[in-house]
């Protein structure tokens, strides 16, 4: 396969601005850019395939520039579901630094990162209308799908003007850095092509763009932060263990698609993985391989191995050798209850609201359903104190097969 054919096979190409683009992508030497939104301090998993294209293009010989939208983040782009809330300027400025650091961790310290606020902060409204707005027809803007969808529910002038701002970004980067290619998600297609139109009119030059399909689940829902079903790429916001568990639960019907879009595995490798996976789908072989490739890339291989170790220990119930840090990672979503003094296990189960009464607590213990730090509790006289706590801080109670509770000593 050519490079462009591989991108098509992976399902990473939706729209292209010109038939010439395929050959140009195959030959390398384009300078491209993609924009990152600083209204959050990290990318999320739904954005990962789009930004992984930076690395794919780099490896194919193209030169990357990443634009973090300090100006566009202040405005907000139309999303077709309603007006975005006005972003806090101080938050955007702080997030710019975090996104910049994340981009360098993912794609190397030598990557060029720019902020469009640098060229917009000195431009006044009259100059913008004269130098940009004069060259883009309103009917052209109204024809864009995202704008048409939002017209029915209302769109502000600020969000309507977003495509002009992004179009001007392309022109600035073309003039200053030689950028001749822009790409983004398919919901950005109208903004991508506005830049092409502006450069064609003002520079009399041809530049290019392509869009990528949005990453969705089998119901067509985006894996994005606005929909509440995505995890962050920042290790401090979402642990490797949480990412591992998230990907382990990806649907079988989507997993081959995700292997193509989220990894650099070859066609032959993916076919082999799916062949083995389909023999024993209950073992989640494809999901596990996906998790390994993604976590090793965005965090590191050690973090992936830690995630696997925590998962295996939880599955087997062997958590007595967990560290405090591993407890915090593995049970991040569980509210801990405080333990102020040494307590009998029966009293603890009631105090921690693990059992509704002492009678129920004794029944659970008698049935062998209570585990303390991975060990089955066999009698009702067990004392719980700092000596039995993990790092003298945490105790983990398991009731039944999967219900966990965390207690912390003061």
Pick one of 3.30.70.270, 3.40.50.620, 3.30.70.2860, 3.90.1150.10 as the CATH number of 3-215.
3.40.50.620
Sign of the dihedral defined by the CA atoms of residues 82, 88, 92, 94, in that order: negative
Tokens of 8: 């098509």
Chain-centroid distance, C-alpha 387: 40
Chain-centroid distance, C-alpha 80: 21
Tokens of 132: 């940009």
pTM for this model (two decimals): 0.86
CA distance 252 to 250: 7
Which has the closest alpha carbon to 371: 397, 405, 390? 397
CA distance 329 to 113: 32
Tens place of pLDDT per residue across the chain (410 aa)? 999 999 999 999 999 999 999 999 999 999 999 999 898 899 999 999 999 999 999 999 999 999 999 988 888 666 555 555 667 888 999 999 999 999 999 999 999 999 999 999 999 999 999 999 999 988 888 888 778 877 877 888 888 888 899 999 999 999 999 999 999 999 889 889 999 999 999 999 999 999 999 999 888 888 755 545 568 999 988 999 999 999 999 999 999 999 999 999 999 999 999 999 999 999 999 999 999 999 999 999 999 999 999 998 888 777 888 888 889 888 887 889 999 999 999 999 999 999 999 999 999 999 999 999 989 999 999 999 999 999 999 999 999 987 899 999 97
pLDDT at 408: 94
Phi and psi angles of residue 269, each rounded to the nearest 5 degrees, phi first: -65, -45
pLDDT at 84: 58
Residue boundaries of the structural domains of the chain:
3-215, 240-316, 337-409
pLDDT at 273: 98
Query: Are the C-beta atoms of 38 and 92 separated by less than 8 Å?
Result: yes
pLDDT at 141: 85
> Distances from the Cα of 236 to the Cαs of 102, 292, 372, in angstroms?
12, 19, 28
Query: Are the C-beta atoms of 396 and 404 separated by less than 8 Å?
Result: yes
Query: Are the C-beta atoms of 180 and 174 separated by less than 8 Å?
Result: yes
CB-count burial class (<10 Å; 0-12, 13-18, 19+) for 403? exposed
**Alpha helices (H) in 285-344, listed in sequence order:** 285-298, 301-316, 324-330
Give every CB contact of residue 38 below 8 A, 6+ residues apart in sequence: 68, 69, 70, 73, 92, 95, 96, 99
pLDDT at 314: 85
Q: Which fold has domain 240-316?
A: Tyrosyl-Transfer RNA Synthetase (1.10.240)
Provide the CB-side half-sphere exposure for 146 (13 A, CA): 19
Pairing of strands 208-212, 394-399: unpaired
b/e for 25-46, b at 16 or more Cβ within 10 A?
A: beeeebbbbbbbbbbbbbbbbb
Q: Which fold has domain 337-409?
A: 3.10.290
DSSP string of 218-278, one letter each residue = TTS-B-SGGGT---BSSTTTS-HHHHHHHHHTS-HHHHHHHHHHH----HHHHHHHHHHHH
């Amino acid at each position: 396969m050519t490079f462009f054919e591989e991108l098509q096979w992976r399902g990473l190409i939706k729209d292209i601005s010109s038939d010439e683009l395929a050959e140009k992508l195959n030959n390398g030497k384009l300078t491209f850019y993609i924009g990152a939104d600083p209204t959050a301090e990290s990318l999320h998993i739904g954005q990962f395939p789009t930004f992984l294209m930076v690395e794919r293009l780099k490896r194919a010989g193209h030169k990357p520039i990443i634009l973090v939208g300090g100006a566009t983040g202040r405005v907000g782009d139309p999303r077709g579901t309603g007006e975005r809330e006005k972003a806090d300027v101080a938050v955007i400025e702080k997030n710019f630094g975090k996104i910049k650091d994340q981009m360098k961790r993912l794609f190397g310290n030598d990557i060029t990162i720019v902020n469009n606020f640098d060229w917009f902060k000195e431009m006044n409204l009259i100059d913008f209308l004269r130098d940009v707005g004069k060259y883009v027809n309103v009917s052209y803007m109204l024809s864009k799908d995202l704008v048409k969808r939002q017209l029915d529910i209302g769109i502000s002038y600020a969000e309507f003007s977003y495509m002009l701002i992004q179009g001007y970004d392309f022109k600035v980067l073309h003039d200053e850095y030689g950028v001749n290619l822009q790409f983004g998600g398919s919901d950005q297609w109208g903004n991508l092509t506005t830049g092409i139109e502006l450069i064609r009119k003002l520079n009399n030059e041809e530049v290019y763009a392509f869009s990528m399909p949005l990453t969705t689940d089998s119901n067509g829902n985006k894996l994005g932060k606005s929909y509440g079903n995505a995890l962050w790429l920042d290790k401090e916001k979402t642990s490797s263990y949480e990412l591992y568990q998230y990907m382990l639960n990806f649907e079988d019907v989507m997993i081959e698609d995700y292997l193509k879009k989220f990894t650099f595995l070859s066609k032959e490798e993916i076919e082999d993985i799916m062949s083995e996976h389909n023999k024993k789908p209950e073992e989640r072989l494809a999901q596990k391989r996906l998790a390994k490739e993604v976590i090793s890339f965005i965090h590191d291989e050690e973090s992936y191995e830690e995630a696997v170790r925590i998962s295996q220990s939880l599955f087997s119930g062997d958590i007595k050798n967990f560290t405090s840090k591993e407890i915090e990672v593995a049970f991040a979503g569980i509210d801990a209850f405080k333990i102020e003094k040494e307590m009998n296990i029966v009293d603890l189960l009631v105090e921690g609201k693990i059992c509704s009464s002492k009678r129920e607590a004794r029944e659970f213990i008698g049935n062998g359903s209570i585990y303390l730090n991975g060990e089955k509790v066999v009698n009702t006289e067990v004392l719980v104190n700092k000596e039995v706590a993990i790092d003298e801080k945490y105790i983990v109670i398991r009731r039944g097969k999967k219900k966990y509770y965390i207690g912390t000593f003061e």
